[in-house]
Amino acid sequence: MRPIYSFEQYGKMRGVDIQIAAETPPFASLIDLTGKAAIVTGGARGLGFHIVNRLVEAGAKVLIADIATEFAEDAVAHFQGQGGTVEWTPCDVRSTDQIKATVAKAIELFGQIDILVNNAGVMGMEVLPQVTEEDWDDFVDVNAKGGVFFAQAVAAHMVDQGVKGRIVNISSNAVMPYASPYFGEELGYVASKAALIKASEVLAECLAPHGIVVTCLLPGGMRSPGAFLMKRSPDVPIDTTSRAPMAMNPDEVARVAFMMATDVAVFAAGAVISVDSAASLGHRL
Ligand SMILES: NC(=O)c1ccc[n+]([C@@H]2O[C@H](COP(=O)([O-])OP(=O)(O)OC[C@H]3O[C@@H](n4cnc5c(N)ncnc54)[C@H](O)[C@@H]3O)[C@@H](O)[C@H]2O)c1
């Protein structure tokens, strides 16, 4: 801890009697995750993979929870090859039983859970007449329900163990009408991602008294496997005119998710953060 100024100096400068912090920790210590353990859902590829990468770089141990076996095995081999402590477990976030089993596995592997990143998501586009009940259920169950019940299970552990943890939820800037050229063709996606934002705010308020910081990111378009493999009904026109900014590398978003998983975010509970290079402001070049 480095002293930045004394109370006496402050009083002299301002002529007021006010209690303020006289010390501030070195920044590097705030982003050091040595000894911390994380679960990243959907960490096998795309944005999740890049979030795992940043957490591991900072010293965290990570359990990837995913359904994409081949991607997950490759990711684990990659990170272990670099000396990282990364494991994966098959987990479909639509199942509360699988969520509970994953949380138990992380505790068994690492002793405790300090960080949860609810990143797993499904993307897709369909025009209104083609929206099916099955698609709607899938969007809501993966994008909203999964995050909520993962947070419930991890928060129970954190509160029980007195862990002042971090929960980072990945929504999307698609909820902002100006941000996505496909806003009108993303009923299930937009609605489920909006639900996750409001759930994040409620979770943040419930958990802040326990020192658990819940935040929610709204990424803009990113080049990821999911973005290219996205389900698209035939009547959705491909917009080739949109110049909404797109991250060429999901790491540009992962860096912000990483910060929200560290002590940088100690006062950020409830934050909903756009990470889209101003797209949600209606930015069109
Ligand atoms: N790519 C974009 O343009 C973009 C923009 C805004 C927000 N997002 C969000 O970012 C997150 C990551 O997306 P991405 O672009 O990396 O996509 P991606 O498809 O490349 O990665 C998503 C990961 O989630 C996993 N997953 C999907 N369903 C799951 C389930 N039921 N249980 C467990 N894991 C499951 C997939 O197997 C995959 O590994 C998603 O929540 C997505 O909605 C993406």
Q: Whose CA is nearest to atom 32 of ligand 1?
A: 92
Same domain, residue pair 10 and 97: no
Expressed as residue numbers, the domain containing 5 is 1-30
Same domain? For 215 and 137 the reply is yes
* pLDDT of the residue at 242: 63
Confirm or reject: Cβ of 60 under 6 Å from ligand 1: no
Q: What is the CATH number of the domain that holds 255?
A: 3.40.50.720
pLDDT of residue 18: 61
Pick from 108-117, 200-209, 218-227: least confident? 218-227
- 267 and 128 in one domain? yes
Q: What is the pLDDT of residues 29-88, one digit of tens each?
A: 999 999 999 999 999 999 999 999 999 999 999 999 999 999 999 999 999 999 999 999
To 10 degrees, the CA torsion angle through 113, 218, 148, 145?
Answer: -130
Same domain, 198 and 215: yes
Protein residue whose Cα sits closest to atom 1 of ligand 1 = 222
Q: Is the dihedral of CA 180, 53, 106, 158 positive or negative?
A: negative
pLDDT digits (tens, 9 = 90+) for 222-277: 999 998 888 777 776 666 556 577 777 999 999 999 999 999 999 999 999 999 99
> Which atom of ligand 1 is the closest one to the Cα of 141?
31
Mean pLDDT across the stretch 196-223?
Answer: 97
Residue 222 CB less than 6 A away from ligand 1: yes
Residues 16 and 147 in one domain: no
Task: Please give the distance, rounded to the nearest whole angstrom, from the Cα atom of residue 64 to the centre of ligand 1.
Answer: 13
Mean pLDDT of 161-178: 95
**Of ligand 1's atoms, which has the minimum distance to the CA of residue 120?**
24
pLDDT digits (tens, 9 = 90+) for 118-168: 999 999 988 899 999 999 999 999 999 999 999 999 999 999 999 999 999
CA distance 90 to 72: 9
Q: Give the residue-averaged pLDDT of 82-98.
A: 98
The whole-number pLDDT of residue 285 equals: 42
Helix (H) or strand (E) holding 170: strand 166-170
Hey, is 56 helix, strand or coil?
Answer: helix
Structural domains in the chain (count): 2
Distance of CA 200 to the CA centre of its chain: 11
Q: Tell me: do 137 and 10 sit in the same domain.
A: no
Cβ atoms of 205 and 262 within 8 Å: the answer is no
- Residue closest by Cα to atom 31 of ligand 1: 92
For 20, the token pair is: 């303020």
Q: How far apart are CA 29 and CA 42, in angstroms?
A: 28
2 and 76 assigned to the same domain: no
Active-site annotation, residues: 189
pLDDT of residue 248: 79
- Mean predicted confidence (pLDDT) in 192-216: 98
> 128 and 13 in one domain?
no
DSSP output for 3-50:
E---HHHHHHHH--------EE--HHHHT--TT-EEEEETTTSHHHHH
**Higher per-residue confidence, 18 vs 75:** 75
Identify the weakest region by mean pLDDT among 65-69, 95-99, 179-183, 255-259.
Answer: 179-183
Mutate to test the pocket of ligand 1, among 49, 63, 66 (most ligand atoms within 8 A of CB): 66
pTM: 0.94
